[in-house]
Amino acid sequence: MSNQDLKIFPILPEALGLFVIPPEEHCHYKGIALKIINKPNDEYKSQNIGCSTLSHFCNQKNQNIFKNFPELKNLETTLCEFTLKYIRSIGFTCDEVIITDAWLNCGSANSSQAMHVHSNSLISGTYYINFVPDVHAPLSIFNDRLLQGTARHPFLELPIDQSVSTPYNQQQLRISIEESSVLLWKSHILHGWDNNQADNRISLSFNVMPKVCTDGYAYSFSVNR
């Protein structure tokens, strides 16, 4: 290799997990979700603070879709299994996890979800219950090192060369998924979606914590929902 040659390689990448719910199970869960959304209990329904055309079901601190609707218990078990596989696949150890928060989302045409992170959580995920890729908005993962107002300080900023696309100068990545898919990611990752073009974009979002969190020797705590 000469002095003029340059090799670029990624360091410390983030891991996005993708699982798929089997068709028969997905059809069953979709039917339950539609009943909850089409005949909502006012106690469980709320509107998104930043978007009036995006509704949430069971997203308050004293609510949890799995606690309030026990008929989804098997889905909760499946999502916990997926999360454990995700954690172990990226090289960490965990024996048991708890879904501390879980709620349904229903977006109408022109709805959006502002970019955000999930606090008080280790792993977050979304299960796509009613999702048509051509018209429903995909999830976007945002690069907080490049977006104005989110970069870590102190920092210097250079203009992005719009003629060159690399994994290092992308401000966001849109995730292509299909209905019945489950995405998992670290809860600190900035994410959201916009430009939704059709009604009934339905998903189930959830936050996960380890039942016992420890460094393997000390500094441990346990979580009870």
User: Could you state, in order of their start, the residue ranges of all structural domains in the chain?
Assistant: 17-142+173-214
Q: Does domain 17-142+173-214 have CATH number 3.30.70.580?
A: no
User: How confident is the model at residue 40, as a pLDDT?
Assistant: 82
pLDDT tens readout for residues 68-120: 999 999 999 999 999 999 999 999 999 999 999 999 999 999 999 999 999 99
User: How confident is the model at residue 121, as a pLDDT?
Assistant: 96
User: How confident is the model at residue 189, as a pLDDT?
Assistant: 96
User: How confident is the model at residue 47, as a pLDDT?
Assistant: 96
User: How confident is the model at residue 153, as a pLDDT?
Assistant: 67
User: How confident is the model at residue 138, as a pLDDT?
Assistant: 97
Beta strands in the chain (DSSP E): 17-20, 45-48, 51-57, 97-107, 113-116, 123-130, 139-142, 172-175, 181-186, 191-193, 201-210, 212-213, 221-222
Sites in the chain below the pLDDT cut of 70: 1-3, 151-154
User: How confident is the model at residue 214, as a pLDDT?
Assistant: 86
Q: What is the pTM of this model?
A: 0.93
